Structures are given as structure tokens and as C-alpha cells.
């Protein structure tokens, strides 16, 4: 009984810490200066689940896509408007080289090192932002997760009480750090916080905004729909400097 109580205190305190640590306000920016629609887009995490959807849909939309990947042969996509560059977000030189000539950056960075403290997301994002500021690239759209900042608890009860505190505490802590770094940057950013990701088809309709998600049931969305929403954020100023959730 005492152990259960201690565990619940830990899970609740982690939830509160993630709420305090992440980006807090999800209000959109008003009166934003219009920026030209970006054509040339750098996609980070392109070999991942969301990243592959981003590449495919960005090409469908007519963007000139550069994919920054650790292993170019893993992408397995060829297209006249797709350039694949080898690099690593933790290697600043490769990030700055990829930033040359870009107009926007979309990040679907992730990893599977769940059970150890890491700074891959936060330090990788710091490098992206530094290179953007150096090269004058304005728009940054970054995938994080429901459960951070003022969306804490909104992934559903099983995530709040089990998955995040037991499997993902280090990962979410770094995500919270990542959001904080983005919020402090000078670029035009949008943080996108999806629910649990599926590999389902693109529906093209989903809920988004500061109050989506559920404190009780697990909320989901396909990577295809997340990519659709993220690409919309390249030109839509509704959530500029804000962190909307997105789920079905």
C-alpha cells in the first residue's frame, strides 16, 4: 500500500514537473508579420515514422525537400525535388551545412534510448535553432508530444500513471527541455504535440488546439495526419509561437 502511494506521488510529481518545465502558454501569436510561403524545406527525422510521411506529403505539395539523415540508404525515396544529405543533429557542422538555402525546418526527431538520461532531442534542437539563426531561416515546426507543458496529463490516464513515469521519464524530461529551448528562440516556431501515434491512413480531419487530449482515455492520431498538420503550419500563423495538441 505504501509503495503504491509512493508511486502515485512520484507519477503526480513528474506530471507537475513536466507541466512546469515545458512550454506553458498555447495561445497563438496575434499580429504576426506575414512571411513568404516557404518552398525549400529541411526535414529532420526523415527516416522515422512521421518523417517519412513528411517527406512524401511535402513532395506532394510541391516543396523542394532536403532530408537530413544519418543513413541516406535508409530513406529509400528518390524524387527530382528531394535532396538527401548525410548528417547528425548532434554534429553542428552537418546541421549548418544542411541549413544553407532553406526557408523552413520541420523536425520529427525521436529515438529509442528510453531508459537512460539523454539530451538528443534538446541538444539536437538547439543545434537546429542555432543554425537557423545563423543562416536566417525563419520558420520552425517541431513535433513533441501531448503530456508536456500545459498539455500535461492529456495523453490519457494510462500514459500519465504508467507509460510516462515508468518507460519514458527521461525521454519526456528531454522533450520538456526541447520545448523550453524552442520557446526561448527568436525564430517563428510552432510546437506540435500529437497524441499516441499510429501508422494508420491520413484522414485529413483531426482536432487541434491548446485543449485537445483527454485526462482519461488514450488519444491517438496517425503519423500521416500529424504530417499533414505540421506541413500546414509552414504557412498558417494561427499557432505561431504556440504549442497546439493534435489528435483524432
Interacting residue ranges for ligand NAP, rule: CB under 6 A? 45-51, 70-71, 74, 88-90, 108-111, 120, 124, 143, 145, 194, 196-197, 223
Residue 183: HSE in the Cβ half-sphere, 13 Å Cα cutoff: 20
CB of 1 to ligand NAP, least distance (A): 32
Whole-angstrom distance, CA of residue 151 vs CA of residue 172: 12
Among residues 54 and 242, whose Cβ is nearest to ligand NAP? 54
> 21 or 237, CB closer to ligand NAP?
21
Residue 86 gets the label, from left (phi > 0), alpha (psi -120 to 50) or beta, of beta
CB of 28 or CB of 48, closer to ligand NAP: 48
Q: Provide, rounded to whole angstroms, the least separation between the CB of residue 48 and ligand NAP.
A: 2
Q: How far is CA 58 from CA 19, 146, 236, in A?
A: 32, 24, 15
By Cβ distance, which residue is nearest to ligand NAP? 48
Minimum CB separation from ligand NAP for residue 97, in Å?
13
Nearer to ligand NAP, 30 or 71 (CB): 71
Q: Which residues contact 106 (CB under 8 A, 6 or more apart)?
A: 41, 42, 43, 44, 54, 58, 140, 141, 142, 230, 231, 234
Shortest Cβ distance from residue 203 to ligand NAP (Å)? 17
Q: Which is nearer to ligand NAP, 137 or 221 (by Cβ)?
A: 221
How far apart CA 112 and CA 189 sit, in angstroms, is 25
What distance in Å separates the CA atoms of residue 161 and residue 65, rounded to the nearest whole number?
39
Amino acid at each position: 500500500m505504501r509503495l503504491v502511494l509512493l508511486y502515485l506521488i512520484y507519477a503526480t510529481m513528474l506530471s507537475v514537473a513536466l507541466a512546469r518545465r515545458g512550454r506553458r502558454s498555447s495561445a497563438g501569436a496575434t499580429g504576426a508579420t506575414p512571411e513568404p510561403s516557404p518552398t525549400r524545406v529541411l526535414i529532420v527525422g526523415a527516416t522515422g515514422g512521421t518523417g517519412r510521411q513528411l517527406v512524401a506529403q511535402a513532395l506532394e505539395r510541391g516543396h523542394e525537400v532536403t532530408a537530413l539523415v544519418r543513413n541516406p540508404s535508409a530513406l529509400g525515396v528518390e524524387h527530382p525535388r528531394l535532396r538527401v544529405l548525410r548528417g547528425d543533429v548532434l554534429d553542428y557542422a552537418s546541421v549548418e551545412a544542411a541549413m544553407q538555402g532553406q526557408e523552413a525546418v520541420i523536425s520529427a526527431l525521436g529515438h529509442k534510448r528510453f531508459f537512460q538520461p539523454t539530451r538528443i532531442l534538446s541538444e539536437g534542437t538547439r543545434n537546429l535553432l542555432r543554425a537557423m539563426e545563423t543562416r536566417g531561416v525563419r520558420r520552425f515546426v517541431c513535433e513533441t508530444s501531448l503530456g508536456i507543458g500545459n498539455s500535461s496529463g492529456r495523453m490519457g490516464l494510462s500514459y500519465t500513471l504508467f507509460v510516462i513515469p515508468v518507460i519514458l521519464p527521461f525521454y519526456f524530461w528531454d522533450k520538456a527541455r526541447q520545448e523550453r529551448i524552442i520557446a526561448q528562440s527568436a525564430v517563428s516556431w510552432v510546437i506540435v504535440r500529437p497524441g499516441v501515434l499510429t501508422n494508420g491512413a491520413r484522414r485529413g480531419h483531426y482536432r487541434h488546439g491548446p485543449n485537445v487530449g483527454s485526462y482519461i482515455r488514450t488519444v491517438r492520431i496517425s503519423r500521416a495526419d500529424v504530417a499533414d498538420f505540421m506541413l500546414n503550419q509552414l504557412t498558417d500563423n494561427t499557432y505561431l509561437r504556440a504549442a497546439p495538441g493534435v489528435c483524432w
